[in-house]
């Protein structure tokens, strides 16, 4: 892919980094459809609350719920763990909590990527205190090789290598969220080129 210039929908490339295609719109759509079908089948008539982790999972959630064949409620949490860089700080803070009471309900946490697993472990522990009927996880992507705590997605789109990704809601320093495809970011080493 050429350096500089514009991406699919006018998004400017960040200087010094290359964006390499990882998943096309069609590939994402087919993954999301597969997950929705499974979720619809498993939950059926049960009272399901989808809890989307902001900001990264907003696009995934919006595509996922439009494919679901069951009625659901939707809520959001916002957690802060990543700084401005590419690695987690390990510290997690909740800056926006859920508003729907979840006692006795089935909860499905919707996450963009599982990395160390700390975000999900934090949320699962926190929600369990509120006595839901069940707490499960639906994640679009999983960097399993980077796991630091034991947590798995009950519904997983795709396992990926240890690369930094952007697009489809997922950012690098708050940029690239509106790309409809998913890319992995690599620094451009001018000496090697
Ligand atoms: P964990 O707590 O280490 O599992 O981190 C999960 C969170 O880190 C995700 O919700 C993402 O917001 C963020 N994250 C992990 N990997 C990436 C990436 O490759 N690009 C952008 N954000 C990422
Ligand atoms: Mg996130």
Indicate the top mutation candidate among 84, 111, 112, 117 to test ligand 1's pocket, ranked by most ligand atoms within 8 A of CB: 112
Q: What is the mean pLDDT of residues 157-167?
A: 97
Closest listed ligand to the CA of 54: 2
Q: What is the mean pLDDT of residues 82-105?
A: 80
Over 80: is that where the pLDDT of 169 sits?
yes
Over 90: is that where the pLDDT of 88 sits?
no
Q: How confident is the model at residue 2 (pLDDT cuts 50, 70, 90)?
A: very low
Tokens of 40: 């619809």
Q: How confident is the model at residue 192 (pLDDT cuts 50, 70, 90)?
A: low
44 alpha carbon to ligand 1 midpoint, in Å? 30
Q: Which string of DSSP letters, residue by residue, matches the chain?
A: --SSSB-TTSPBPPTTEEEEEEE-HHHHHHHHHHHHHHHHHHHTTS-EEEEEEETTTHHHHHHHHHH-SS-EEEEEEEEEEE-SSSSEEEEEEEEE---S--TTSEEEEEEEEESSSHHHHHHHHHHHTT--SEEEEEEEEE-GGG--S----SEEEEE--S-EEEBTTB-BTTBSTT-SSEEEEEE--GGG-
Q: What is the mean pLDDT of residues 42-71?
A: 96
Tokens of 88: 């987690």
Q: What is the pLDDT of residue 99?
A: 98
| CA separation for the pair 139, 134 (Å, rounded) | 16
- Tally of CB atoms within 10 A around 116: 17
Q: How confident is the model at residue 43 (pLDDT cuts 50, 70, 90)?
A: very high
Q: Ligand 1 pocket by C-beta < 6 Å: which residues?
A: 53, 56, 81-82, 88, 111-119, 164-165, 170
The predicted-structure confidence for 120-156, as pLDDT tens digits, reads as follows: 999 999 999 999 999 999 999 999 999 999 999 999 9
Tokens of 128: 């369990």
Q: What is the pLDDT of residue 1?
A: 46
Q: What is the mean pLDDT of residues 177-187?
A: 96
Percent of the chain scoring above 70 in pLDDT: 90
168 alpha carbon to ligand 2 midpoint, in Å? 12
Q: What is the pLDDT of residue 193?
A: 57
Of these ranges, 9-23, 88-102, 107-121, the one predicted with the greatest mean pLDDT is 107-121
Percent of the chain scoring above 90 in pLDDT: 79
Strand 155-159: give its sheet, edge to edge.
88-96, 72-82, 48-54, 106-114, 134-142, 155-159
pTM: 0.92
């Amino acid at each position: 892919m050429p350096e500089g210039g514009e991406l699919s929908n006018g998004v400017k490339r960040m200087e010094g980094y290359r964006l390499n295609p990882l998943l096309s719109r069609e590939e994402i759509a087919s993954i999301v459809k597969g997950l929705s079908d499974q979720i619809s089948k498993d939950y059926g008539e049960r009272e399901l609350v989808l809890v989307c982790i902001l900001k990264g999972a907003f696009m995934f959630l919006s595509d996922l719920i439009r494919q679901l064949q069951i009625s659901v409620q939707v809520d959001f949490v916002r957690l802060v763990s990543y700084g401005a860089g590419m690695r987690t700080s390990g510290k997690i803070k909740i800056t926006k909590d859920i508003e729907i009471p979840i006692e006795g309900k089935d909860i499905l946490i919707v996450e963009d990527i599982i990395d160390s697993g700390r975000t999900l472990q934090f949320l699962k522990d926190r929600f369990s205190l509120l006595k839901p009927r069940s707490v499960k996880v639906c994640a679009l992507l999983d960097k399993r090789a980077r796991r630091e705590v034991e947590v798995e997605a009950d519904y997983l789109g795709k396992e990926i290598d240890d690369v930094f990704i952007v697009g489809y809601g997922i950012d690098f320093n708050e940029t690239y969220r509106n790309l409809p495809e998913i890319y992995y970011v690599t620094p451009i080493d001018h000496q090697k080129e």
